[in-house]
């Protein structure tokens, strides 16, 4: 069974540039999460979906970050006008079913550096 796939693995930007991250969750998992992990910190939840619906995006900086999961499968996280403070690893995770306390399965992440 394929795991969670993310791309790209790395991204380097100048401040003000835009970037998109892509995630393909495990087949059949209805819940998808995006986490931000600054260096030497634990992952911090940005947003999560059940199928195509956003369940909680309260931690997503809405002025510059956006996330979609249009068909309830793959997802894209986009940062408009990146700042140096956005430098972090962006992790995508999926779980089988919302509300079932299932294990989260993580991709390898996208390491973003904003110069």
Partner 1 sequence: QQKVQQSPESLTVSEGAMASLNCTFSDGTSNNFRWYRQHSAKGLEVLVSIFSDGEKEEGRFTAHLNRANLHVSLHIREPQPSDSAVYLCAVSSASNTNKVVFGTGTRLQVLP
Query: At its nearest, how many Å lie between partner 1 and the CB of residue 48?
Result: 6
Nearer to partner 1, 22 or 105 (CB): 105
108 lies in the binding site for partner 1 (CB under 8 A): yes
114's enclosing H/E stretch is: strand 110-114
Least distance (Å) between residue 107 CB and partner 1: 5
Binding of partner 1 by 25 (CB under 8 A): no
Q: What is the DSSP string of 33-84?
A: EEEEE-TTS--EEEEEEETTEEEE-TTS-TTTEEEE-TTSS-EEEEESS--G
Residue closer to partner 1 (CB basis): 30 or 86: 30
In angstroms, the CA 10 to CA 109 distance is: 9
Interface residues toward partner 1, by CB under 8 A: 3-4, 31, 33, 35, 40-45, 48, 55-56, 91, 93, 95, 98-101, 103-109, 111
């Amino acid at each position: 069974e394929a795991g969670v796939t993310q791309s790209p693995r790395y991204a380097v930007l100048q401040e003000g540039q835009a970037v998109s991250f892509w995630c393909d969750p495990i087949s059949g998992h209805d819940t998808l999460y995006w986490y931000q992990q600054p260096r030497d910190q634990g992952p911090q939840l940005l947003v999560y979906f059940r199928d195509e619906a956003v369940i909680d995006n309260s931690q997503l900086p809405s002025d510059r970050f956006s996330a979609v999961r249009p068909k309830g499968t793959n997802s894209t996280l986009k940062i408009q006008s990146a700042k140096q403070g956005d430098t972090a690893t962006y992790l995508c995770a999926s779980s089988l079913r919302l509300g079932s306390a299932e294990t989260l399965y993580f991709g390898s992440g996208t390491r973003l550096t904003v110069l």
